[in-house]
Structure 1
Amino acid sequence: MELNQTSIHYYDKRLARISTCSETADSIVSDTFPDIGRIVCAYGTAAVRDQTPQSGRLLASGMVQVVVLYEPEKGEGLRRLSVPVSFAHIEECDGIDAETVCMVRCQVAAVDVVAVNSRKLNVKVQLCFFIEGYCQTQCEITEGTQEKHVELLSEMQTVTLTEQVRAYPITVLDDVSMQDAEGLSILHANCTLRSSECRAMRGKIVLKGEAEIQCLAIQEDDAVRVLSNTTPFTQILEMPEVEEQDVVCAQLAVREIDSRIEPDGLLSYTVSVTALITVRRTRTLCRIKDLYLPGQTLQMSEEKTTLHSMPPSVSFTAEASETLQTAQHAAHIVSAEAICCSAKHSAKGDLQITAAIQVLYLSDEQQLYAVSRLVPLTMPCLVAGELSDISLAVRASAAGETGVMCNVTAAGMATAEERVAFRHITSLEEGETQKKTADATLLLRYIQEEQQLWEIAKDCGTTMEEIRRVNDLPADATGVSHMVLLIPMQV
């Protein structure tokens, strides 16, 4: 029998995870530096140098530049040490291969530094990876048959498929004069990327957004300052396959930040970014639920085909508060930052996030201290679906004598993704004629509890259309109950 087959080509999102790992390194204090008295704080900036998909796994590697600020044993002001820590993270996932299009965002969740002795440090870096991977997929589904006598029970199913995925390297750079920034040196730099517009235009993608950079800098008198600047950007990306009516989305990930302050107070930075562009198109396909041949059996071979439907994402924000205990009173908050280490919906629909929070503050004696915690947060959130592109912002303030109140805001995207099963019938042939238990051409059956006409017709070897006609049922009737039904038999 002739079958109506449809070939589907799209990109299946096989990998979408938040993963964590730890790396350690030892560092010896240079002879030009004094002995370590107290570790004040430590920050790390990650640079992803390579992200290589292989058969069944993804390898992400790079370097974390750790900056350790410490007080010498005999005072003499703060000292800064730089410790490089390399990382290599392997993410296992069935189905990915060398052609998988991937995006990796790596952030430093926490840096723990222990002074082994006055001349040696042990550094432990906790990394958080946000990973997505799309595999090009080809499959076939059966939408019908050209054999008129075969009865089909089907429905029209709308699916939104990711038909194009491409990762582009882009660069955002700027030079800006900062007020009273002469003599500053950078301890730590962080960049937040936001996409404000992403659309198709005659075989190209127009991407607009902004990069907000925040730098923690130290003055010659050991005072720590926060410098910030926002740089808007516009990128025109080549994608010949895209059409203007297509729904296109962008996800942005920082790969590396290079920042410095010139002696004259000029803040110069270069941000290397991966822009993952997805093109989604909506299709309406016929989904076969059941089929039979009245009066005869069918010999059929089939396979299950599952399509990953991904409608456009919706943005969300959610908030929660947590108090971190400190060793002394926080007289002044210098800076606060938070990294999302895990995220999921609870059974009640709330958003459950694990946040790595670090707050830098001054004590009453104007000494610099830091508090770092891994904090579970529960946030009321009305948006359901798969979570992605989550970023955290935190506002910190002193709470009582030994505490810091942290108000955390989560922002991200949620997608109501769905796996939709279709049938791929590879062969369909007529079988043997079904034996009748009697020579009657019309059966009477009392239907008490509601039954579907499809099941009655299939069981009796007739059609729903014939049952409707003989019983004068509406053309859209699909079920009956509490009635005597006349069932015509196929001759």
Structure 2
Amino acid sequence: MELELERTELSGYETVLNTTLFQEETMEMIVPDACPDILRILDTEGWVELKSREASEGHAAVSGTIRACVLYLPDGEEGIRRLDVSIPFSGGVDGARLNHRCSLVSLGRIEGAETRALNPRKVLVRVGIAVELQGYAPLEEAVCSSVHAESKTGVEQLCETCHTYGVVCVQEKPFQFSDEVTLPGSKPQAAELLKQRVTVVCTESKVIGNKLIFKGNVNLQILYRSVDHQICDSLFELPFSQIMEVSGGGEEADCTLEIMATEVQCSLESGEDGRIIHVALELLAQAVLRAERSVAVLCDLYSTSYLLEAERCTHSMEHLIDRSVKTPALREVVECGESIDNILDAYLSVGRMAQNREGERLVLEAEVRATILYRTEGGESGSVSRVFSVPCSLELPEGCSCTCVCRCPEPVFATPTAGGIEVRFAVEFRYMALRSEPITGISAARLDPDSPRDRDHQPSIVLRMVGRGERLWDIAKCYGTTMAEICRANALEEEQAPGGQLLLIPRKRA
């Protein structure tokens, strides 16, 4: 006879992919006729505009465009000039548990970029990109929580309440952002925009009902050439706020929100003023909500009256160990072999990350490239780049897994100093540590009403010493009785007995 089990569906999502796709793209490009010949390349900086993400059976694919600004010194003319480069790319990763129902969360960044002049009218651009990819599949798991059986069957069941921390909602929202910014009066007028650097920072997020309200800033840094060929910069902080529909999270859910730009446009308004800059962004907000849930698990069962066979399965329960942000700061001197008069621009690029276990300590390490544009005391423009290894030490026990994203949300500070350029910057490590605990539960049970338990050869009274760590449940199951009867026979107030105690085990009556 198949016993009727009550099952609880664990709704939500399970993480089936968490990786970073590294890829290098190259392109040869002819300098447009409107641009002067190239004398020397100064710098190449870019950003990634992801256009599509798609999950299929065993595979996740992404595609988009790399946008880069190449700054160079022109041959026979004054000032720094800009060359725009667009490189399409596509790539993918395999994952055995991926399917078309998965939701993908992705974020692209530039690891490093360089340009080599093949001749005064032709360049070779090489860009390394990193695309962070997380895949979440709808969770399809049923947990048996109890059994329905008549009292005459003598079925005893052991149910435990377990807790698990997991993804309950994955949602995204595209939105547009546009604004006008004006160069301050203390800055000279702009003749040409050389570079724009856009960083989207979420400063606040909160779930209210089925709405996720989030706010933040678009940090816009402009590098431009003035009418008298000076190189100037200006920084703007532009606020935004949005509302996204979410479900299943609850107001106590933890929210991870990533916002990426899928299109960036900055243009200088034509006219005599040369101070107004138009900004138009296509943005994509990607939210992952996690929460702790409790679930009842039928861990064991037996019958005091009949033979009973049970099938078991293992459920993995995730537990949150730690979730936080650490921001180590770095202060270094970059040697460049020249006497520096002033800094024109400085920026950071995050590269590869690694994890190293040292006992109870986990050390995260990120490669961060600092690039500085400068002007020498002799009036020459130049650039220098250096890669730093930034460590972040965490006290995390062995046996837990740690995921981390690394960002440099604040501008780098760079100033001339003796021997080179002093740089100071902070690196943000946002990490989450989880530990997986296997829980064995019942998946199916069959009772044979034609096979009653043999009690004829069972003694009427048994004296049994409780072993260290032994449960009363296991003792009752072993002798075909119940915990309640053992408690009554031994005047125990609770269904547990300390190790070393002598128990009277009564025979279960039919």
Picking from 355, 367, 371, the partner of 1:358 is 371
Q: Does 1:169 align with 2:171?
A: no
Contact 2:163 2:317 (C-alpha < 8 Å) held by counterparts = no
Q: Does 1:257 align with 2:271?
A: no
TM-score, scaled to structure 1: 0.87
Contact 1:387 1:412 (C-alpha < 8 Å) held by counterparts = no
Which position in structure 2 is the counterpart of 1:227?
234
Which position in structure 1 is the counterpart of 2:61?
59
Deviation larger for 455-464 or 175-184: 455-464
Look up the SS of the partner of 2:190 in the other structure. Answer: coil
The 1:74–1:190 alpha-carbon spacing in structure 2 relative to 1, beyond 3 Å, is: closer
Percent of aligned pairs with the same amino acid: 22
Structure 2 unmatched runs, 5+: none
Q: Does 1:247 align with 2:253?
A: yes
Q: Does 1:390 align with 2:395?
A: no
Tell me how far 1:428 sits from its aligned partner.
Answer: 0.7
Which position in structure 2 is the counterpart of 1:150?
155
Which position in structure 2 is the counterpart of 1:376?
389
Deviation larger for 15-24 or 30-39: 30-39
The 1:251–1:69 alpha-carbon spacing in structure 2 relative to 1, beyond 3 Å, is: closer
Q: Distance in 2 between matches of 1:128 and 1:14?
A: 19
Look up the SS of the partner of 1:371 in the other structure. Answer: strand
Q: Does 1:94 align with 2:104?
A: no
Q: Distance in 2 between matches of 1:181 and 1:49?
A: 37
* Residues 145-174 of structure 1: CA deviation (Å, up to 9, x unaligned): 133533334421223443332210011211
Tell me how far 1:259 sits from its aligned partner.
Answer: 0.8
TM-score, scaled to structure 2: 0.84
Contact 1:443 1:488 (C-alpha < 8 Å) held by counterparts = yes
Letter in 2 for 1:139: E
Deviation larger for 465-474 or 241-250: 241-250
Q: Distance in 2 between matches of 1:330 and 1:155?
A: 69
Which position in structure 1 is the counterpart of 2:496?
477
Q: Distance in 2 between matches of 1:423 and 1:450?
A: 18
Tell me how far 1:140 sits from its aligned partner.
Answer: 0.8
Q: Does 1:135 align with 2:153?
A: no
Q: Does 1:337 align with 2:337?
A: no
Look up the SS of the partner of 1:477 in the other structure. Answer: coil
Tell me how far 1:437 sits from its aligned partner.
Answer: 10
* Residues 195-224 of structure 1: CA deviation (Å, up to 9, x unaligned): 233334565433322211112223344432
The 1:251–1:297 alpha-carbon spacing in structure 2 relative to 1, beyond 3 Å, is: farther
Q: Distance in 2 between matches of 1:33 and 1:426?
A: 72
Which position in structure 2 is the counterpart of 1:276?
286
Q: Distance in 2 between matches of 1:439 and 1:97?
A: 55
Look up the SS of the partner of 1:469 in the other structure. Answer: helix
Which position in structure 2 is the counterpart of 1:349?
362
Q: How many residues get paired? A: 488
Q: How is 1:391-406 mapped onto 2 (pairs within 5 angstroms)?
A: 391-392=407-408, 393=410, 394-398=412-416, 400-402=418-420, 404-406=421-423
Q: Distance in 2 between matches of 1:48 and 1:95?
A: 23
Look up the SS of the partner of 1:480 in the other structure. Answer: coil
Contact 2:342 2:374 (C-alpha < 8 Å) held by counterparts = yes
Which position in structure 1 is the counterpart of 2:314?
304
Q: How is 1:197-236 mapped onto 2 (pairs within 5 angstroms)?
A: 197-201=204-208, 203-236=210-243
The 1:220–1:14 alpha-carbon spacing in structure 2 relative to 1, beyond 3 Å, is: farther
Contact 1:248 1:277 (C-alpha < 8 Å) held by counterparts = no
TM-align CA RMSD = 3.2
Q: How is 1:32-51 mapped onto 2 (pairs within 5 angstroms)?
A: 33=35, 35-51=37-53
Look up the SS of the partner of 2:475 in the other structure. Answer: helix
Contact 1:45 1:107 (C-alpha < 8 Å) held by counterparts = yes
Structure 1 unmatched runs, 5+: none
Tell me how far 1:378 sits from its aligned partner.
Answer: 0.8
Look up the SS of the partner of 1:95 in the other structure. Answer: coil
